[in-house]
Structure 1
Amino acid sequence: MSAQRALLIILDEKIRSDRLVLPTLPDIALKVRERADDPQISLQQMADVISQDPALSARMIKVANSAFMGRSIQVNSLNQAVTRIGLSQIKNIAIAMAMEQLFVSQHKQVQQQLDRLWRDSVQTASVAVACLQFYKARHRTCKLNTDVMALAALIHNIGALPVLIEAERHPDVFGHPAFMQVLIDKIAAIVGLKIIKSWGFGEEFMPVVEHWRKPQSELVPGYTDFIRLAAINRNYYAPEQAQALLANYVTQELVPVPEFMQQPEIAGCYQDVRALFQ
């Protein structure tokens, strides 16, 4: 039996029997989420939690000084950063900033795949947030939130993570990148839903993980549509699918033109969001 076939059978059996090992959120993300759900928590107490992770603290200051938060007077401390971001957004943004900690393996080939997966996730988040910011500026009644968008984009393909980790036991499959992509496309949505349910994420994240691969626009623009815009930008869909989908999004005014990444406002915000992860 080929390594590809063996891996497919093992993954299918583990998914059906609920024996596939799912990733857990980084410890700091769990702490932030737990405290953020406490209605009595203060900004100072939240800053104290985040300060336990120096890397996350530095990123939160970076976020507070970015276009993501509208940029105003420069902040230099974590307390100031948490105050500017606010408790309503701090949970999703902090979890998003901590997500990179999951993309780690001791296996060289797996790490290469995880690095690529993380880069794609950051690219997706940067495009999706930039397009949403553009849309919200012109549609004031839009209820979509940029902090949810950023986190949704970073986890949109989270189901690929345990697939790659399981593949460590079958290193020959990494010589077949086309097979790995087909395998991820086949399984990642099912696994991704299991992961975000185990993490206790809200309902708004589930359609993103489950449906972003389907090249169809929604009647009312949602988070998944902005993920699809990012997928179009990285040539995920077949050309005719991308063209039809993009035409719908221009009609719905999610983006102004098919060449939306050439728009200065979108391109500038894209660069700002991308810089948060560097």
Structure 2
Amino acid sequence: MSDLIEKYFASLTEDLENDRLVLPILPEVAIEVRKVVEDENATAGQVADIVCTDPALTARLLSVVNSPLYRGTAHISHVQHAVSRLGMTIVKNLVLSLIVKQLFQGKSGATAKRLHEVWEHSTQVASISFALATQFTTLETDQALLAGLVHDIGKIPLITYAENQPELQNDAVLFDRVVSNLHARLGATLLEKWGLDDDLIAVAGGHESISRISGTKPDYVDLVIVANLQSHVGSDHPLASVDFSTVPAFTKLGLDPEVNCVDIAGVAENAAAAHEMLSLG
């Protein structure tokens, strides 16, 4: 089995280096929003103008900013008002979050089923990451949400690749092993190609390195490691059998590994609010 996995990794790596591997493309609107936000002289109006070039994205963004997670005392009906109230960085991350959701859609059959399963898992991890960031860290909650959404992004090109590989299509065990072993490396490569933050690239590449030790303060990788493990509690996934007391990320977040973190007061509520918001987009 390991020889087959290495064969596919070698093939995928070669395809990637020679631009033969089909990778999800980051839409132009996301690229432009990111560029503008990085300009210290940018205005809310400039960000709004870019978002509004995509009517569907505009509608989804307004739906999200009026959700219980973000809404204030007044209903927001214009993107510029959303940017002014929430700030450009939060809106940038929300735009990316909404666009990531699109990447998991538009397929049919077995591919659609697999993409849907990954998306559902990603929203669960994102919601828990948001809740943990809110209560146990000073990390940006919108970035934590996005980190959870993209942690398994490397599975998308692998699922697409398998469409043309009968051996992977017909052998679920082999397919799962290939995805398990390769998605983190491929995810980090994809986010790097998109030009996303180093924090997000680190999450995609390191979220299953559960023995990881990095500094004394929790970071986004720690958040997603814990959220990912938590999401598998009670399932038949291999990570469900991990002894949380052996995972440094729990200590860095100040969490008792013997306590289910979603049972901590406030965590479930914040996670539910984040999950509801993601379902709106």
2:229 aligned to 215, 229, 232, which one?
232
Residue number in structure 1 paired with 2:162: 167
Partners of 1:14 and 1:253 in 2: CA distance: 39
Residue number in structure 2 paired with 1:214: 209
Residue number in structure 1 paired with 2:66: 65
**Equivalent pair of 1:103/1:114 in contact (CA under 8 Å):** yes
SS of 1:22's partner is coil
Structure 1 counterpart of 2:144, one-letter code: M
Partners of 2:256 and 2:133 in 1: CA distance: 9
Residue number in structure 2 paired with 1:266: 267
Partners of 1:230 and 1:22 in 2: CA distance: 26
Structure 1 residue 251: deviation in Å? Answer: 7.2
**Equivalent pair of 1:131/1:254 in contact (CA under 8 Å):** no
Following superposition of structure 1 onto structure 2, how do residues 124-143 of structure 1 map, counting pairs within 5 Å? 124-136=125-137, 142=138
* Residue deviations 1:125-149 (CA, integer Å, cap 9, x gap): 001111110113xxxxx3x211221
Change (3 A) 1:122 1:178: same
| Long gaps (5+) in structure 2 | none
Partners of 1:104 and 1:239 in 2: CA distance: 28
Change (3 A) 1:161 1:237: same
| Long gaps (5+) in structure 1 | 137-141
Residue number in structure 1 paired with 2:11: 13
Structure 1 counterpart of 2:225, one-letter code: R
* Residue deviations 1:213-262 (CA, integer Å, cap 9, x gap): 12225432111111112211222554553432468625742469622212
Residue number in structure 1 paired with 2:110: 109
Change (3 A) 1:254 1:127: same
Partners of 1:107 and 1:60 in 2: CA distance: 26
**Equivalent pair of 2:230/2:260 in contact (CA under 8 Å):** no
Structure 1 residue 53: deviation in Å? Answer: 2.3
Structure 1 counterpart of 2:39, one-letter code: D
**Equivalent pair of 1:261/1:267 in contact (CA under 8 Å):** yes
Structure 1 residue 89: deviation in Å? Answer: 2.3
Question: Any runs of at least 4 consecutive aligned residues in structure 1 with deviations exceeding 6 A, and if so which?
Answer: none
Partners of 1:115 and 1:230 in 2: CA distance: 19
Question: Could you say what the CA RMSD is over the residues aligned between the two structures, in angstroms?
Answer: 2.7
Count, aligned residues: 268
Residue number in structure 2 paired with 1:76: 76
Partners of 2:47 and 2:128 in 1: CA distance: 29
Structure 2 counterpart of 1:274, one-letter code: H
Q: Which deviates the most, 179-188 or 58-67?
A: 58-67
Partners of 1:242 and 1:59 in 2: CA distance: 40
**Equivalent pair of 2:244/2:258 in contact (CA under 8 Å):** no
Residue number in structure 2 paired with 1:181: 176
Q: Which deviates the most, 23-32 or 188-197?
A: 23-32
* Residue deviations 1:137-162 (CA, integer Å, cap 9, x gap): xxxxx3x2112212211111111111
Residue number in structure 2 paired with 1:139: none
